[in-house]
Amino acid sequence: MAKKAKTVTATTIKTRDDLENVFGEYAREVIELDRLTVQMELEIAAVRKKYEEPMTACKEVGDALFSDLNAYAELHPEAFGDRRSLDLLHGTLGFRTCPPKVLQIPGVKVDHTLAAIAAQGLAGELIRTKRELDKDAVLARVAAARDKGPEAAARTAAELAAVGLRVEQGELFYAEPKRENGGVR
């Protein structure tokens, strides 16, 4: 049965001892969650191991049979008539038309292809250019301005605001229990 969470508010924690007690309870719950997770992963691993060998055997046999079916279909196109599939007692086999895809000719490098397209004047049609904000450069610019002083930082912030940007740095609260030796007194 699941535990019901105790409601503790900032008004409940009034002293350092209250804080230590609440953190102790929190640490116990985190450590119990860790223990349960490890136990669950061990049980899942045991189940995987139990089924691994028979599943591998099924896959190997199935892959070999699939290859045989594929070979039959390729060697006997007349069995399909004018259709792409063949209905059988236990299922359907056939060929699906895949969407067209662009592939490099073996031995031809992408750089060669890009250069050849540009040389033919087709770069605007066949080469995609992705434009995106360089956030690292923005952060570097802000850091450099901050190093120059408050006026430079304010000027850079105003420049960024004019183009619809701002740089923020927040804080995240954390509570990290000590996990060694159970972590709880």
- Side-chain half-sphere of 83: how many Cα atoms within 13 Å? 8
Sign of CA dihedral 162, 165, 169, 171: positive
Residue 30 has pLDDT above 80, yes or no: yes
What pLDDT band is residue 56 in, cutting at 50, 70 and 90? very high
Q: What is the pLDDT of residue 68?
A: 96
pTM (two decimals):
0.59
CA distance 180 to 169: 32
- Quote the tokens at residue 5: 């969470």
pLDDT digit string, tens, across residues 80-130: 999 999 999 999 999 999 999 999 999 999 999 999 999 999 988 999 989
Residue 1 has pLDDT above 60, yes or no: no
CA distance 167 to 153: 11
3-class DSSP assignment, residue 153: helix
- In which residue are the tokens 């420049």 written? 159
What pLDDT band is residue 12 in, cutting at 50, 70 and 90? confident
Residue 11 has pLDDT above 90, yes or no: no
C-alpha closest to that of 30 among 149, 132, 175, 158: 175
